[in-house]
Amino acid sequence: MINAVKRPSASLAVNGRSYFWPSRTTVVICFDGCDPAYLGAARAVNAIPAIDRMATDGFATVALAAMPTFTNPNNISIVCGAPPSVHGVSGNFFLDRATGEEIMMVDATPMRAPTILASFAKAGAKVVAITAKDKLRKALAYQLDGIAFSAEKADTCTLAENGIKDVTGLVGRKAPDLYSADLSLFVLDAGIRLLETQPVDLMYLSLSDYVQHTFGPDEPEAICFMREVDRRVERLMALGAVVGIVADHGMNDMAEAGGSPRVLYLGDRLDAEWGPGTTRVICPITDPFVRHHGAMGGFVRVHLFAAHLDRDAVISFVRSLPGVALVLSREQACKRFDLPEDREGDIVVVAEKGTALGARAKDHDLTQLAGARLRSHGGLAEQEVPFLISHPLTPQHQAELGATRLRNFDIFSVALNHVRA
């Protein structure tokens, strides 16, 4: 049963951009870690006919994710339609320079901008947000008066906290394992079940990148996962929804030929050069679920603590290290990547494609990888992401947007504003 409620106003302004009221149910999927290579490999074996049809019948391009190419900053950017400088979430962790404490951004600090989801809900739209992990649900549901839950905590949803109960009954299976392909498939199945049973205007489905961290694009497990996602995309379209698919970041192999992780332990190199305790490396990919990336990705922040340290000298030193693609001062990084200055390090370091950055070797537990090759993200090499819309755009926008480099956080704007009526 799909029927969007009547629009109370023609459009809504959120963070300086305006969005038309959804004339049809609009579903945006954040396909976590879906590097364009996963679509390419699946397409080559005809595993994703529905997604392929989006590209031929609707609109498809390659967009750029927000930097750093991590899950939280990009999911928040997508639901805000704005970069991290606007909403303040530029990683999972930042270092509070006043206290020296590492603060988890999503949990402990308020977002600085309203979301498109909350704004539409406030205006009377039926809004649903479903995430893989519960941590992200809390951020995406910021000020959202609607249905919001995670696959992770599907068995403990309450009306008061989530706007829905008995999600496992609705979906017909128990909450999935955190480290499983089903964590993402459950999100899609729950979205489908909701569309089948009640009117929805706007839905955001955010998956998990467990499969992409664990398997390369050509591996059978990845192809099988793509096939399963595609079947669900097919169902969403069959239910009449306008579907938008975008990714929060890509994914790259960061291991040596023999299988050991290719890591530059920047914290150890800085300690050896400038002395222990003079600098601190923050890996903003760190989260409570590190099993598949060992808290290592392609982007770190360096804080300088010793007054005698000359930042330019440290920048030159880091630039000379193998595996480093880009080193920027806080000011340069914030300008180039639209990041909030008060949560930025003194120095930003981006790895070359195929290399992961770490703090000190002893800070990372590589046994968590359990012998698997390290696959991760965070840098510029993971910035290109698929951007697909199930329906054709207006002729003017089809040409205009085809010639523009879209950002992944333009997806709500394109899905709501540019789809042909």
Which residues here bind Zn ion, judged by CB under 5 A? 32-33, 71, 209, 248
What is the DSSP secondary-structure string of 312-347? HHHHHHHHTSTTEEEEEEHHHHHHHHT--GGG--SE
Q: What angle do CA 414, 418, 421 make, to 5 degrees?
A: 135
Q: Which is nearer to Zn ion, 35 or 209 (CB)?
A: 209
Bridge-based pairing of strands 242-246 and 299-304 is unpaired
Dihedral sign for Cα 364, 368, 374, 380, please. Answer: negative
Six-digit token pair at 219? 């591996």
Q: Which is nearer to Zn ion, 107 or 342 (CB)?
A: 107
Burial class (CB in 10 A: 0-12, 13-18, 19+), 239: middle
Q: Which is nearer to Zn ion, 299 or 412 (CB)?
A: 299
Distance separating alpha carbons of residues 200 and 196, to the nearest angstrom: 10
- In the bound complex, what is the minimum distance in angstroms from residue 318's beta carbon to Zn ion? 24
Q: What angle do CA 75, 66, 71 make, to 5 degrees?
A: 35
CA distances from 281 to 55, 73, 302, 336 (A): 41, 19, 5, 21
Residue with tokens 């919001």: 148
Q: Which is nearer to Zn ion, 182 or 209 (CB)?
A: 209
Q: Which is nearer to Zn ion, 22 or 68 (CB)?
A: 68
Question: What is the SS3 assignment for 97?
Answer: coil
- In the bound complex, what is the minimum distance in angstroms from residue 10's beta carbon to Zn ion? 34
Nearest residue to Zn ion by CB is 71
- In the bound complex, what is the minimum distance in angstroms from residue 359's beta carbon to Zn ion? 18
- In the bound complex, what is the minimum distance in angstroms from residue 376's beta carbon to Zn ion? 7
Q: Which is nearer to Zn ion, 25 or 252 (CB)?
A: 252
Distance separating alpha carbons of residues 200 and 285, to the nearest angstrom: 33
Q: Which is nearer to Zn ion, 66 or 347 (CB)?
A: 66
- In the bound complex, what is the minimum distance in angstroms from residue 212's beta carbon to Zn ion? 7
- In the bound complex, what is the minimum distance in angstroms from residue 227's beta carbon to Zn ion? 21
Distance separating alpha carbons of residues 231 and 213, to the nearest angstrom: 22
Question: What is the SS3 assignment for 171?
Answer: helix
Number of residues assigned to the chain: 421
Q: What angle do CA 290, 294, 299 make, to 5 degrees?
A: 100
Q: Which is nearer to Zn ion, 71 or 90 (CB)?
A: 71
- In the bound complex, what is the minimum distance in angstroms from residue 278's beta carbon to Zn ion? 30
- In the bound complex, what is the minimum distance in angstroms from residue 1's beta carbon to Zn ion? 32
Amino acid at 316: S
